[in-house]
Amino acid sequence: MRPNLGRVGAGALIAIAALALAGAKGDSSTSTFHAQIDSTPANSSVTLSYTRPPQPASADQARPVVPLGRGAIQVPILMYHYIRINPDPSDALGADLSVTPDSFQQEMDWLQANGYHPVDFDDLRAYFLGVSPLPARPVILTFDDGYRDLYTTAFPILRAHNFKAVAYLVSGFLGFSNNVTREQVQEMAQNGIQIGAHTLSHIDLTKASNDELTRQLVDSKADLETLIGHPVVDFCYPAGRFDGRVVAAVKAAGYQTATTTQPGTQHSVADRYAWTRVRIRGDEGLDKLAADLSPQEPTVMMRFAPSPQPIPVIPRLPLVYPLELPRLVLQEAAEQRPLP
Does 6 have pLDDT greater than 80? no
Q: How confident is the model at residue 303 (pLDDT cuts 50, 70, 90)?
A: confident
117: β partners = 138
The confidence score (pLDDT) of residue 311 equals 39
3-state secondary structure of 284: coil
CA dist 340 and 332 (Å) reads: 18
pLDDT digits (tens, 9 = 90+) for 81-96: 999 999 998 999 999 9
The region of weakest confidence among 160-169, 209-218, 247-256, 329-338 is 329-338
pLDDT digits (tens, 9 = 90+) for 209-242: 999 999 999 999 999 999 999 999 999 999 999 9
Residues 6+ apart with CB under 8 A from 110: 286, 289, 290
Torsion of CA 197, 297, 98, 142, to 10 degrees: -20
Does 307 have pLDDT greater than 50? yes
H helix runs in the chain, sequence order? 92-97, 101-113, 121-128, 148-149, 155-160, 182-189, 210-228, 244-252, 286-292
The confidence score (pLDDT) of residue 305 equals 62
**Please, what is the Cα angle at 115 between 114 and 117, to 5 degrees?**
130
Q: Under a CB-based contact definition with an 8 Å cutoff, are residues 101 and 82 in contact?
A: no
Average pLDDT over residues 134-146: 98
Does 259 have pLDDT greater than 50? yes
Neighbours of 231 (CB within 10 A): 24
193: β partners = 165
Handedness of CA 176, 180, 185, 186 (dihedral sign): positive
| DSSP secondary structure letter of residue 318 | P
The confidence score (pLDDT) of residue 253 equals 98
- Nearest CA to 286 out of 109, 161, 141 is that of 109
Q: Under a CB-based contact definition with an 8 Å cutoff, are residues 159 and 98 in contact?
A: no
| DSSP secondary structure letter of residue 315 | P
Does 12 have pLDDT greater than 90? no
Residues 6+ apart with CB under 8 A from 96: 281, 282, 283
Q: How confident is the model at residue 283 (pLDDT cuts 50, 70, 90)?
A: confident
Q: Under a CB-based contact definition with an 8 Å cutoff, are residues 249 and 261 in contact?
A: no
* Residue 327 or 246, more confident: 246
The confidence score (pLDDT) of residue 4 equals 41
- List the domains of the chain with CATH numbers: 61-304 (3.20.20.370)
CA dist 205 and 212 (Å) reads: 9
Kindly report the average pLDDT of the chain as a whole number: 81
Handedness of CA 187, 7, 123, 56 (dihedral sign): negative
pTM above 0.95, yes or no: no
Q: Under a CB-based contact definition with an 8 Å cutoff, are residues 76 and 265 in contact?
A: yes
CA dist 274 and 263 (Å) reads: 11
CA dist 169 and 180 (Å) reads: 9
